[in-house]
């Protein structure tokens, strides 16, 4: 007897620029259009970008109070985002959304959530690998002030069961760190979803622009393969008020192959039917963790942060 394949209609809703002057309602209207497009293409779950509701504000020097007043969500859903939740419920779509969160205690986080098709928030993640700096760099073409505006996430890398799938999530810079995915794969994650805002220009060194896309895709592909998982990554991209960010939103199979990739730097949906059994071969054989991992030899990974002297 053949059993029915377990699959998920998985879509990435890439977003083009959200300018400083754009309000949340305009962003939400665009997201609703993207959701409808995704639904019409068989999606059951849609991945939106990091900080999807506003421009990528860490590029601007301002006080923490100014940032929190203008760019942070004090409730989720809130008045501007409720229509997104309503539309998702009406369409029966689950989704991932990145936004700036100000907690009732006044703590600022770069946050994402997984929402079920009934509109309920099933899981929350707060960005752990915060890139950039906290000081003002007046000579740089723009700032990258994530270390000023956000606290380091305090929820760890958890996984959530939704729509018959075990899903983990992270945000942007987290996707470059192998520990991110391995911690979730050790909890039997099958799909990792993430959003990103990656400036094309690196303010720290003269990095060739094409490398930004190369290292982005390399990170997704290596991580998908090495953990036997699907990875779905949504960009906010194009030039926000003249500050360009890479596109190349992608869905990567557990084989490490890119199975869908955005063509534009505008609002665009890419979608696949993800076969969840595809990762099983890798997880049962070459990356059978229980059989082959040797954590007794990985101690330095949790004991050291920076590189140091050789072990005896
Ligand atoms: N948003 C975000 O995390 N962007 C980073 C830029 C790193 S350079 C300071 C990224 O990894 O794409």
In a domain, 310, yes or no: no
In a domain, 312, yes or no: no
Helices (H), the chain: 24-40, 64-71, 82-91, 146-149, 178-185, 209-227, 278-284, 289-292, 299-303
Mean pLDDT over residues 283-309, rounded?
A: 97
Q: Which of 5, 34, 2, 67 is nearest to 195 (CA)?
A: 34
Q: What angle do CA 278, 38, 238 make, to 5 degrees?
A: 100
Tell me the percentage of the chain whose pLDDT exceeds 70.
99
Mean pLDDT over residues 76-98, rounded?
A: 98
The pLDDT, as a whole number, for residue 5 is: 86
Rounded distance, CA 170 to CA 234, Å?
11
Q: Which of 236, 154, 161 is nearest to 191 (CA)?
A: 161
Question: What separation in Å is there between the alpha carbon of 173 and the centre of ligand 1?
Answer: 5
Rounded distance, CA 189 to CA 56, Å?
29
Binned at pLDDT 50, 70 and 90, residue 2 comes out as: low
Tell me which residue has its CA closest to atom 7 in ligand 1: 131
pLDDT digits (tens, 9 = 90+) for 162-210: 999 999 999 999 999 999 999 999 999 999 999 999 999 999 888 999 9
CATH code, domain carrying 252: 3.60.110.10
pTM recorded for the entire structure: 0.97
Cα 268 to Cα 16, 21, 87, 164, 185, distances in angstroms: 8, 21, 18, 26, 29
SS3 297: helix
* Count of domains for the chain: 1
In a domain, 1, yes or no: no
In a domain, 311, yes or no: no
Rounded distance, CA 31 to CA 49, Å?
10
For the chain, report the end-to-end CA distance as a whole number of angstroms: 56
Domain extent, residue 294, equals: 7-303
| DSSP string computed for 167-205 | EEEEEGGGGG-HHHHHHHHTTT-SEEEEEE--BSS-SSS
The pLDDT, as a whole number, for residue 3 is: 59
In a domain, 160, yes or no: yes
172 lines ligand 1 (CB under 6 A): yes
Mean pLDDT over residues 137-151, rounded?
A: 97
Rounded distance, CA 132 to CA 204, Å?
9
Q: Angle at which helices 178-185 and 209-227 pack, to 10 degrees?
A: 20
Question: What separation in Å is there between the alpha carbon of 303 and the centre of ligand 1?
Answer: 25
Rounded distance, CA 65 to CA 305, Å?
31
In a domain, 271, yes or no: yes
The pLDDT, as a whole number, for residue 90 is: 98
Active site residue 265: no
| All residues at 6 or more sequence positions from 281 whose CB lies less than 8 Å from its CB, including other chains | 228, 254
Q: Is the pLDDT of residue 1 over 60?
A: no
In a domain, 103, yes or no: yes
Active-site hit among 44, 50, 87, 265: 50
In a domain, 205, yes or no: yes
Active site residue 170: no
């Amino acid at each position: 007897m053949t059993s029915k394949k377990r699959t998920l209609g998985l879509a990435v809703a890439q977003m083009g620029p959200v300018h400083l002057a754009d309000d949340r309602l305009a962003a939400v209207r665009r997201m609703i259009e993207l959701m409808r497009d995704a639904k019409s293409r068989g999606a059951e779950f849609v991945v939106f970008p990091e900080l999807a509701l506003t421009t990528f504000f860490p590029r601007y020097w301002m006080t923490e109070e100014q940032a929190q007043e203008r760019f942070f969500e004090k409730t989720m859903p809130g008045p501007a985002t409720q229509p997104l939740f309503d539309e998702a419920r009406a369409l029966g779509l689950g989704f991932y959304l990145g936004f700036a969160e100000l907690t009732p205690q006044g703590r600022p986080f770069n946050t994402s959530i997984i929402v079920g098709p009934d509109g309920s928030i099933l899981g929350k993640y707060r960005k752990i690998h915060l890139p950039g700096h906290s000081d003002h760099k007046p000579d740089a073409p723009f700032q990258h002030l994530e270390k000023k505006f956000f606290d380091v996430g305090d929820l760890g890398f958890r996984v959530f069961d939704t729509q018959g799938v075990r899903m983990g999530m992270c945000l942007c810079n987290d996707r470059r760190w192998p520990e991110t995915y391995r911690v979730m794969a050790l909890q039997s994650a099958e799909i990792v979803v993430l959003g990103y805002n990656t400036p094309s220009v690196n303010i720290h060194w003269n990095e060739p622009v094409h490398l930004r896309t190369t290292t982005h895709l390399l990170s997704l592909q290596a991580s998908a393969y090495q953990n036997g998982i699907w990875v779905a990554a949504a960009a906010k991209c194009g030039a926000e008020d003249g500050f360009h960010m890479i596109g190349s939103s992608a869905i990567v199979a557990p084989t490490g192959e890119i199975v869908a990739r955005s063509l534009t730097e505008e609002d665009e949906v890419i979608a696949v039917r993800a076969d969840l059994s595809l990762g099983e071969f890798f997880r049962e054989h070459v990356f059978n963790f229980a059989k082959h991992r040797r954590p007794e030899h990985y101690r330095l990974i949790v004991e050291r942060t920076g590189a140091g002297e050789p072990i005896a």
